[in-house]
Amino acid sequence: MKQQCVIFDMDGVICHTNPHHAKAFEAFFDKYQIPHSEKEFEEHMYGKHNGYIMTHFFKRSVTGEELKKLEDEKESMFREVYKDKVETIPHYLKFLSALKSRNFKTAVATSAPRANLDLIIGALQIADKMDSMMASEDVTSHKPNPEVYLKSAERVGADPADCVVFEDSFSGVTAGLNAGMKVVGVLSSHTKEELPPCHFYINDYSEVNVDKILDLLKG
């Protein structure tokens, strides 16, 4: 029997964190007197890892110890803003339970740091429902590189062709497609037109069920 797996990005897919990340980045960039706009956030922040974001907004290469220091500062601001507000995109927990009841492996593959993953998964109390959880520290190449998705599949013993990815960003959808997986676009941060073509789209998890996932895998 083939092992089938559903892999979730986290920000904008499990929880609608992007408005809270935007708040944290606004305060962070204001502190460093870095200009920013909502349009720039949409194009250069949502779904991107911090190395890319810092380099883009600071207009110079930000790497190594400096990146770690700035990243830690900004992400702790995010966790402070978000820690009492953790909630899922509607109907996510019901969908996750349905997948587990039908013997799917489930995983989280995020570009966010491990501390954010721990905060959100801990607050939702779903660690026991995940067969793999990977954060930015677990890969050397970030999305749109497929590494995090290929490693997640390997960890749970599933072939990439037997995996469905849930993603909300351009780089994330591209990573899922590059991994050779089926991709469901979650329209929390972007419209269909702003994403690469996905195999299916949802606004929230009332619009998808296990049978739909099985159909996607057959197709």
Q: What is the pLDDT along the chain (219 residues), one digit of tens a residue?
A: 799 999 999 999 999 999 999 999 999 999 999 999 999 998 998 878 899 999 999 999 999 999 999 999 999 999 999 999 999 999 999 999 999 999 999 999 999 999 999 999 999 999 999 999 999 999 999 999 999 999 999 999 999 999 999 999 999 999 999 999 999 999 998 999 999 999 999 999 999 999 999 999 998
Q: Taking a C-beta distance cutoff of 8 angstroms, is the pair 69, 61 a contact?
A: no
* Sequence-ordered alpha helix ranges (H) in the chain: 18-31, 38-44, 50-58, 64-82, 92-101, 114-124, 147-156, 170-178, 210-218
Residue 121, both tokens: 């998964």
3-state SS, 125-186, equals CCHHHCCEEECHHHCCCCCCCCHHHHHHHHHHCCCHHHEEEEECCHHHHHHHHHCCCEEEEE
End-to-end CA gap in the chain: 18
Q: Taking a C-beta distance cutoff of 8 angstroms, is the pair 104, 210 a contact?
A: yes
> Is 7 in a helix, a strand, or coil?
strand
| Peptide bond between residue 144 and the one before it cis (omega within 30 degrees of 0) | yes
Question: How many residues in total does the chain contain?
Answer: 219
> Is the whole model's pTM more than 0.85, yes or no?
yes
Closest CA to 92 of 12, 158, 196: 12
> Is 207 in a helix, a strand, or coil?
helix
β-strand 163-167 against 200-202: which pairing, if any?
unpaired
One-letter identity of residue 140: T
In degrees, rounded to 5, the angle at the alpha carbon of residue 120 between the alpha carbons of residues 169 and 6 is 55
Ordered by where they begin, the domains of the chain are 5-16+87-218 (3.40.50.1000), 18-82 (1.10.150.240)
How large is the C-alpha radius of gyration of the chain? 17
Task: Give me the residue label for tokens 């067969």.
Answer: 131
Closest CA to 135 of 50, 198, 16, 23: 50
